[in-house]
Amino acid sequence: MPEGPEIRRAADRIEKQIGGRVLEHAWFAFEELQTQANSLIDIRVDAVETRGKAMLIRFDNQRVLYSHNQLYGVWKLHAAHKPPQTNRSLRVRLVTEGRAASLYSASDIALLDTDALEDHPFLARLGPDLLSQNVSTASVLARLDDSRFHRRSLGALLLDQGLVAGLGNYLRSEILFYAGLHPKKRPVDLTATEREQLAQIIIDTTWQAYRQAGVTNRDAWIEQAKTAGETRRQWRFSVFERAGLSCHRCGEIIERQMVGSRRLYWCPHCQPVA
């Protein structure tokens, strides 16, 4: 499943396609939305934002189109007169000035009033979105110290969208590696300095993945990995997808384990248990 940086980049593309323009046509596959389609005609698309792995398309009549791609959903951008060739099921189509944004295969879609967003069952459970909201290191640190989170293992906690929204499997492994923390560690086990460093690394790694299209590795390590013949799937990361390969930092062999029923990669030397 795409993580927060990939959804944010998709939101950017949609905003470039239809943002700031007035809708000429709106179509929904689901019956409960079909009756609301006309309420969007002649309405301007104000902004496209993300909340973790969900997308919010805001309109200037204070309405918001919420969607979550889950495993199979995908937005496709195209000329209005030339829909893409695909076997996927069309769920939403928004058209403005000859441009179209079409959502395929997703099932979690709603048209909401702005003031009802916080009551949406998925959005209400989310922590702050690092890429669409102004989230400070102090804010993330406060969440790590929150009683809901501070006694949970980091290997599980970093997948909890209630901590911060948008982290997923590859970001979890990369963040823990850069923080030098074993996945069994808990926020309560860390020193004040370690917790502050972790909060900053959570922000920095997520922003790097967004700005560099999913690349979280360091430039020098990327060149080293390319020279060694690693594929992009391997060299784009510091530890994720690199089980059996040497750690860029210390040379130890990267290991893989299952945490929370999902793959986690770590360096035994750089991320000791004790």
Q: Which residues are catalytic?
A: 2-3, 53, 262
At what angle are helices 137-145 and 192-211 packed, to 10 degrees? 130
Token pair, residue 132, equals 């669409």
Could you give the CA distance from residue 98 to residue 79 in angstroms, rounded to a whole number?
6
Q: Which residues of 38-65 are buried (b: 16+ CB within 10 A; e: fewer)?
A: eebeebbbbebbbbbbbbbbbbeeebbb
Give me the long-range contacts of 145-150 (CB less than 8 A, separation at least 24).
145/187, 145/195, 149/187, 150/186, 150/187, 150/188
Could you give the CA distance from residue 134 to residue 112 in angstroms, rounded to a whole number?
23
User: Which DSSP letter does residue 242 get?
Assistant: -
HSE-up (13 A, CA, CB side) for residue 165: 24
- CA distances, 20 to each of 1, 102, 112 (Å): 29, 17, 19
User: Under a CB-based contact definition with an 8 Å cutoff, are residues 161 and 149 in contact?
Assistant: no
User: Under a CB-based contact definition with an 8 Å cutoff, are residues 70 and 107 in contact?
Assistant: yes
Could you give the CA distance from residue 66 to residue 153 in angstroms, rounded to a whole number?
31
Could you give the CA distance from residue 200 to residue 94 in angstroms, rounded to a whole number?
38
